[in-house]
Amino acid sequence: MKKRGLCLAGSITLVVLVSLSCLGCGDTKTSDEILLRYAFFAPAESFPAVQMEWWAEEMESRTNGQVKVQTIPGGALFTAENMFDGVLTGAADIGLSFVTYEPNRFPLLSLNDLPGLGYANSSQATRAFFDVVWANQDIDELRAYQVITAFCTEPSYIQTINEYSTLESLEGVHIRTPGGPEVLEALGAVGVYMPQSEIQQALEHFLIDGIVTSREVLKGFNYAERIKFVINKPLGQVSALAVMKRDRYDALPEKVKEVINELAPLAAAYAGETLDEQVRTSLEWSIETQGVKVVELSDETSKEFDDALISLTNRWIDRVAARGLPADDFYKKLREAAAKYD
- Between the alpha carbon of residue 257 and those of residues 4, 60, 95, the distances in Å are 23, 13, 17
One DSSP character per residue, 94-152 reads EEEEEGGG-TTTSTTGGGGGSTTS---SHHHHHHHHHHHHHHTTTSGGGTTEEEEEEEE
H helices, E strands: number in the chain? 11, 13
For residues 77 and 319, give the distance between their C-alpha atoms in angstroms, rounded to a whole number: 33
What is the per-residue pLDDT for 32?
85
- Cβ pair 230, 294 in contact under 8 A: yes
Q: Are 227 and 203 in contact (CB under 8 A)?
A: yes
pLDDT computed for residue 66 by the predictor = 96
Q: Which of 237, 63, 236, 48 is nearest to 149 (CA)?
A: 48
One digit per residue, the tens of pLDDT, for the chain of length 342 reads 443 443 333 333 333 333 323 323 333 223 589 999 999 988 788 888 899 999 999 999 999 999 999 999 887 888 777 899 999 999 999 999 999 888 999 999 999 999 999 999 999 999 999 999 999 999 999 999 999 999 999 999 999 999 999 999 999 999 999 888 899 999 999 999 987 778 999 999 999 999 999 999 999 889 999 999 999 999 999 999 999 999 999 999 999 999 999 999 999 999 999 999 999 999 999 999 999 999 999 999 999 999 999 999 999 999 999 999 999 999 999 999 999 998
Phi then psi for 174, rounded to 5 degrees?
-90, 115
pLDDT at 31: 55
The residues, any chain, with a CB within 8 Å of residue 217's CB and separated by 6 or more, are 159, 211, 223, 282
- Taking residue 245's Cβ as centre, other Cβ atoms within 10 Å add up to 22
Element (H, E) at 224: none
Interatomic CA distance for residues 11 and 37, integer angstroms: 12
Rg of the chain on CA atoms, in Å: 21
CB contact at 8 A, 47 and 271: yes
List of domains in the chain: 157-236+281-311 (3.40.190.170)
Interatomic CA distance for residues 149 and 107, integer angstroms: 18
Q: How many CB atoms lie within 10 A of CB 68?
A: 17
Distance CA 26, CA 28 (A): 7
Name, in order, each residue with C-beta under 8 angstroms of 34's C-beta and a sequence gap of 6 or more.
Answer: 16, 17, 66, 67, 68, 252, 253, 256
pTM greater than 0.75 (yes/no): yes
